[in-house]
Structure 1
Amino acid sequence: MQANQLTTYSRLGLTISSPDEAVVLKLATLAMTVDAAPAASSVPAIGEYWPGQGGVYVGIRHYPDGPHHLIVGAEDLGKFAWGEYGAETGATSRTHGILNTTTLLEAGGSFPAAEAAANYTADGHHDFGLPSIGELNQVWQYVPDLITEGAYWSSSQRSANFAFDMTVDDGTQDYYVKNVELRVRPVRRLPIH
């Protein structure tokens, strides 16, 4: 009778051994996913800069693909037009700015606000986008001192001619003509595992 051979996975002090290779692969994959997520103790308080994550922590948001940490870029990027007045773009999510930003960038045409947000980099992260109207509202609610002047574009289109914006002086959500220049503040998401 032949002894069962063990499959072993070792990383960062964790060792998994089993004669069932499929079990080891599943557990190793789970361990790598957990390692990639930030430890709960490393998450800063809302309103604090999150070292290594590219911006200020705004809290947790729930998306269809699960909860994520929301991080807002530490810099205001200036004023830009939303772009493509008269064009339906499909960037209509009121909750998911990265999805809207990707939709705009893949649509062709000129979308200066989304392009500025997508080109923003901080702490080595290149996954920023123009916030949805919901994400922009969360920034205004939890870190209002970061967006204190005028109106900011969201990535959420209202119609072929208008997109949603937020006037931060009083928290008014409205819509504006797409070819007007408003302020831009990028955001990124970090999945919670």
Structure 2
Amino acid sequence: MTQSVLQSIAAADLPERGQPLAGGTFVTRYWLNGQERALILMPDEFEGAWGKYGVKITGADSYSDGEANTRAMAEAGSEIAIKALELGAHIPSCLEGQLVMAAKADGLVTLREDRFHWMSSQFSADFAYSMVFEDGWLNTTVKDLERLVRPVRSLPIQ
């Protein structure tokens, strides 16, 4: 079921980092494609394969734009991408994953540290990026392995 989600937020309405916002926890402000945005970590967590080994997904190569990557993944049939979008969220890009890790390091969010989490950024036809939130280690992982997904939202700041 798709939930009603904020489409943007006024800068004056942003809470402090680590506080509730749009169904999740406000992580930070950042710039993406010339637009200042608010990054929100969602409480949902699920697992699955990123995609098929040996299949390069056109449009899922952005290091910074997780929503664009996730949409490209969903169009190619990725179950984890479809699930994230159904939640009104997306799989974080490498950049967004690092911003989430910074919020964890600052004590603002809690994340599982015992497993790797998928990032939406594709490395090649065989590998995509994953991160372990124990220490923020970014790695490439074979796409058809099961990993956790912790979706995020990114709202334009008006």
Please indicate the TM-score interval, normalised by the length of the shorter structure.
Answer: 0.7 to 0.9
2: CA distance, partners of 1:119 / 1:146: 23
Q: Report the RMSD for the aligned CA atoms in angstroms.
A: 1.6
Which secondary structure does the structure 1 equivalent of 2:84 belong to? helix
1: CA distance, partners of 2:141 / 2:8: 38
TM-score (norm 2): 0.85
Structure 2: runs of 5 or more not aligned = 1-6
1:136 matched to which residue of 2?
Answer: 97
CA apart distance, 1:37: 5.0
Structure 1: runs of 5 or more not aligned = 1-35, 121-125
Range with greater deviation from structure 2 (90-99 or 142-151) = 142-151
Which secondary structure does the structure 1 equivalent of 2:63 belong to? coil
* 2:52 aligned with 1:71: no
TM-score (norm 1): 0.71
Residue 112 of structure 2, aligned match among 125, 138, 148: 148
2: CA distance, partners of 1:181 / 1:141: 25
1:23 matched to which residue of 2?
Answer: none
Residue 49 of structure 1, aligned match among 20, 26, 46: 20
Which secondary structure does the structure 1 equivalent of 2:39 belong to? strand
Superposed CA offset, 1:8-50 (max 9, x none): xxxxxxxxxxxxxxxxxxxxxxxxxxxx853434211111111
Q: Which has the higher contact order (CA 8 A, sep 6+)?
A: 2
Deviating beyond 6 angstroms after TM superposition, the runs of 4 or more aligned structure 1 residues are none
Aligned length: 147
Instruction: Tell me: CA distance 1:59–1:85, structure 2 relative to 1, closer, same or farther (3 Å).
Output: same
